[in-house]
Amino acid sequence: MAASSAIFDRLKSDHDRHRDLLEKLGNTSGDTEERRKLFEAFTREVKAHAAAEEQALYSTMMRKPATTDETRHSVAEHHEIDEALNDLAATDMSSGAWLQKFKALEHDYLHHIEEEEDDHFPEFAKLLSADDERHMREVFDRRKREEKADAEITPEKAEDAKE
Ligand SMILES: [Fe+2]
Ligand SMILES: [Fe+2]
């Protein structure tokens, strides 16, 4: 990857924001206004980020045979993260179950963005020109704003989601 990358630097700065929100959330306790606000901010941020990331980057990488498998893997993880967020939203914030589920989500999400940054993005960068990357960044910025305006907290227990 080039020293400076239009799309990948942008995605990584979102990831850093998500790491920060996760750390702050981990320091909250019980059913409090602070936990509620941070959880809502994290959910809207991550849902909008994942959708815009798929539209700006993964849609192109899906079409390239060399990166189809990695793309499928990441998009499947986006779906799992979405379900985990919905399950957490349907769980009593003051319960031990909430904290347990939050810890599992935190672990899985940190793994997801680390894999993107360390494995996927460097592979993708080899196949993209500086122009491609600039264009992807424009698409990402526009779509992220629009997705974020629409992003919602949608509580749904994991057991229900499987039916
Ligand atoms: Fe992602
Ligand atoms: Fe990402």
Distance in Å, CA 51 to ligand 2 centroid: 9
Q: Any residues with CB less than 8 A from the CB of 49 and at least 6 apart, and which?
A: 11, 14, 18, 144
Distance in Å, CA 128 to ligand 1 centroid: 18
pLDDT tens series, the chain, 163 aa: 455 799 999 999 999 999 999 999 999 999 999 999 999 999 999 999 999 999 999 999 999 999 999 999 999 999 999 999 999 999 999 999 999 999 999 999 999 999 999 999 999 999 999 999 999 999 999 999 999 999 999 999 997 665 5
Cβ atoms 76, 145 nearer than 8 A: no
Q: What is the pLDDT of residue 69?
A: 97
Residue 13: nearest ligand to its CA?
Answer: 2
SS3 for 94?
Answer: coil
The DSSP H or E segment spanning 136 is helix 130-150
Q: Which residues of 125-151 are buried (b: 16+ CB within 10 A; e: fewer)?
A: eeebeeebbebbbebbeebbeebeeeb
Distance in Å, CA 163 to ligand 2 centroid: 28
Q: Which residues surround ligand 2, an ion (CB under 5 A)?
A: 53
Q: What is the pLDDT of residue 74?
A: 98
Distance in Å, CA 57 to ligand 1 centroid: 10
